Amino acid sequence: MSRLVVVSNRVPNPANGRTRAGGLAVALEQALKQRGGVWLGWSGEAVAEPDPTPTLHDAGNVSYAYLDLTPDDVQEYYNGYSNRALWPLMHTRLDLTEFARKDLASYLDVNRRFATALAAMVRDDDIIWVHDYHMIPLASELRRLGLKNRIGYFHHIPWPAPDILTALPRHDDLVRALLQFDLVGLQTEADADNLFAYLTREYGLRSNGRGIVGWDDKTTRIAHFPIGIETEGFAKRARRAGKASFVREITESLMGRKMIIGVDRLDYSKGVPERMAAFEKLIESDADWINKVTYLQITPRSRSEVPEYADIERSVSETAGRVNGRFGEANWTPIRYVNRSYGRTALAGLYRAAAVGLVTPFRDGMNLVAKEYVAAQDPEDPGVLVLSRFAGAAAELHGAILVNPYDGEGVAKSIGVALVMPLEERRARWREMWASLVENPVDVWATRFLSALEDSPPSLASRLLGFMKSADNRFVTSRGREALTALW
């Protein structure tokens, strides 16, 4: 079995258990331990003169490799191009997309430095798996350095329609770099269709029917691999958490009221202020819910250096304050807004205690909160998931109530339906969603991607050269042999 090399913007610290709590980190570490390998990424540190050689931390047969960045890198590569250009663009927020050439230059430079550091560590038969939009140019840089390894890329966020993507200056360079990967994985079929549509419109490239496109001397397979969660493990965690003192205190403080829960990173793509406004419409239109339901919104801060995130934090706080000021009573706060993070066990217990899981992003690659909410439920008395149709999870969780997050009245109505849904319907919807989660847990997702990467087609030049070497083929001229050999 080939050794595995994982590359991502950030890398877990094996000395800190909290950084490994997420399902993705657990799945990747499991795959790394099975094969042995390296996980390379940014250390999280910004220093004036970073060492080009990674700092290594060995844990068994896995090496964790950390590269420092400069303060300018953090501002331009990370806060700039990654999170003020690519992130809003991929989430169809052209109004928030900002492009600066110095940010792009830093983005390319950081990827070049990552590639240089990685090339010194990679063996000829290693499989390389690159994660997310921070690292799109990495395969191109590795190919420039002469690496012929199988290299896969997984895009965790949405891939936009061609009209959106072409608004990005030098979008063609970005996509050409993407096609240097052997396998490009996306969350949903719609995301893959968007990428195929761009390739067809801009370059006339078409899939061969198996998701494979050819570009110059390179073939790339494009496919969707919806990411899962630790389904059984998270369900077990939720059962245990229900007995924890923290969860009991929260449920007792509800005084018999039903609870709606939303858990989101503070980001404009999540639609949190609009979700709060929809809850306001619910209690405004039906006074029976006044003092009968509490909405708990947990929203940790993120990317506070980016101005748009300060704006969304202010908007969420103002909306929560308006609703509570308008409808709150001395013994009831309609919206409990918490601007901090909780551990996965605490969240699992809160999900299980909530009658409604409210997940209404404007756009999301997958949204694992939706899946975790379903996994956490009591099969005998499950809650109801109200889910945005623009989250990738909507393609799998057919038992959810799907909503349009731009339609506040529609979301309010759906929340009301969820709160009074009969037990048998709740059970039936939950069973359908649970079956989907069991079929595609995160470790199966990782195995499927790596299997597809190992089975991905070799480059066009490699196949032609193999064809020439297999026999003295009379259809290939001597000049053609020389050209193809040079190409290889």
* Cβ-contact 269, 93 below 8 angstroms: yes
How far apart CA 380 and CA 391 sit, in angstroms, is 27
C-beta neighbour count of 15 within 10 angstroms: 9
- Distance between CA atoms of residues 124 and 116, nearest Å: 15
Claim to verify: residue 477 and residue 350 sit in the same structural domain: no
Task: Please report the pLDDT score of residue 482 as a whole number.
Answer: 45
Residue 458 confidence (pLDDT): 59
Q: Are 213 and 205 in contact (CB under 8 A)?
A: yes
- Asked if residue 387 and residue 243 are part of one domain, the reply reads yes
Active-site residues, by number, are 156, 364
**Based on the domain organization, do 464 and 336 belong to the same domain?**
no
Q: Are residues 180 and 239 in the same domain?
A: no
Whether 253 and 309 map to the same domain: the answer is: yes
Predicted local confidence at residue 486, as pLDDT: 39
Please report the pLDDT score of residue 215 as a whole number: 81
On whether both 235 and 109 belong to a single domain, the answer is no
Q: Are 388 and 248 in contact (CB under 8 A)?
A: no
Cβ neighbours around 49 below 10 Å, total: 7
Q: Are residues 237 and 218 in the same domain?
A: no
- What angle do the packed helices 368-376 and 231-241 form, to 10 degrees? 60
Amino acid at 293: V
Domain co-membership, 321 together with 263: yes
The pLDDT assigned to 374 comes to: 98
CATH number of the CATH domain containing 180: 3.40.50.2000
Q: Does 135 share its domain with 270?
A: no
Residue 240 shares a structural domain with residue 223: no
Which domain does 288 fall in, by range?
231-439
**Rounded-to-integer distance, Cα 285 and Cα 279, Å:** 10
pLDDT beneath 70, residues of the chain: 15-23, 303-305, 457-488
Report how far apart, in Å, the C-alpha atoms of 202 and of each of 56, 176, 190, 205, 461 are: 42, 11, 18, 8, 23
Q: Are residues 93 and 152 in the same domain?
A: yes
d(CA 113, CA 265): 30
- Cβ neighbours of residue 286 under 8 Å, at least 6 residues apart? 416
pLDDT (0 to 100) of residue 139: 98
Regarding whether 290 and 385 lie in a shared domain, the answer is: yes
4 forms beta bridges with 37, 127
Q: Which single residue is written with the structure tokens 């405004």?
A: 284
Q: Could you give the 3-state DSSP secondary structure of residue 458? A: coil
Tokens 């969240």: give the residue. Answer: 347
**SS in 3 state form for 301-343?**
CCCCCCHHHHHHHHHHHHHHHHHHHHHCECCECCEEEECCCCC
**Strand stretches in 267-376, DSSP E:** 293-298, 335-338, 356-359
Q: How far apart are CA 261 and CA 266, in angstroms?
A: 15
State the alpha helices, DSSP H only, in 358-407: 368-376
**SS3 of 390, please?**
coil
User: How many domains are contained in the chain?
Assistant: 3
Cβ-proximal residues to 413 (8 Å cutoff; 6+ apart), any chain: 282
Q: Which two tokens stand for residue 267?
A: 């980001």
Cα torsion at 352, 358, 364, 368 (round to 10°)? 0
Residue 163's pLDDT is what? 97
Give phi and psi for 299, each to the nearest 5.
-140, 90
Judged by DSSP in three states, 192 sits in helix
Q: Tell me, what's the pLDDT at 470?
A: 42
Looking at residue 464, its pLDDT comes to 46
